[in-house]
Structures are given as structure tokens and as C-alpha cells.
Amino acid sequence: MSAPPAAASRPPTRPGHGADHEYRTRNLVLGAGYVGLTTATCLAALGNTVMCVDSDVALIAQLRTGHSHLAEPGVETLS
């Protein structure tokens, strides 16, 4: 049995970019509750584009004004 090609040991990269290239993703988070909004905030803090979807229209309206219902320490510094 032959050894796997050397390329298999390198981390995958986005086509057209070197291994040291850092790239961002677009993310959709379903639910802007405690877990969903915390996740979305952390993803956005890393430079990703994030959209939250929630069935609570009042919650989404509150978030659009820049106010959060989260009581997570330090979350304000992420955005």
C-alpha cells in the first residue's frame, strides 16, 4: 500500500488562496435566543457576516436598535 500524497497532510485551503490566507464566511443562525444570539455574536466578532432569523418579531426589532436581551458577561465588547 502506498503512502498518501503529501498534499493530504496540509490543511484544506480555499481555492486560489495560500494556506496562510484567513477568510470569512456568511452564516445564518436560526433562533436569536440565548444560544443562537451568543453564537451569532461570536461569529460576527471573528469578522464573519451573520444573519439571525427568529419568529419573535419584537426580539428582532429590539436587536435592530442595538439592544440585546443577553445577560452574558463581556458580550457587549464583542460587537
Query: Which residues lie across from 26 on neighbouring strands?
Result: 49
Query: Which residues lie across from 50 on neighbouring strands?
Result: 27
Rounded Cα distance between 36 and 52, Å, is 8
What is the per-residue pLDDT across 55-73, written as a single tens digit (0 to 9) for each?
Answer: 999 999 998 998 888 877 7
* Better-scored residue on pLDDT, 7 or 57: 57
Domains of the chain, by residue range, sit at 25-77
The confidence score (pLDDT) of residue 50 equals 94
What is the per-residue pLDDT across 10-34, written as a single tens digit (0 to 9) for each?
Answer: 555 555 555 555 678 999 999 999 8
Whether 49 has a pLDDT exceeding 60, the answer reads yes
The confidence score (pLDDT) of residue 16 equals 54
pTM: 0.64
Handedness of CA 20, 24, 30, 31 (dihedral sign): positive
Of 23, 20, 50, 47, the closest CA to residue 38 belongs to: 50
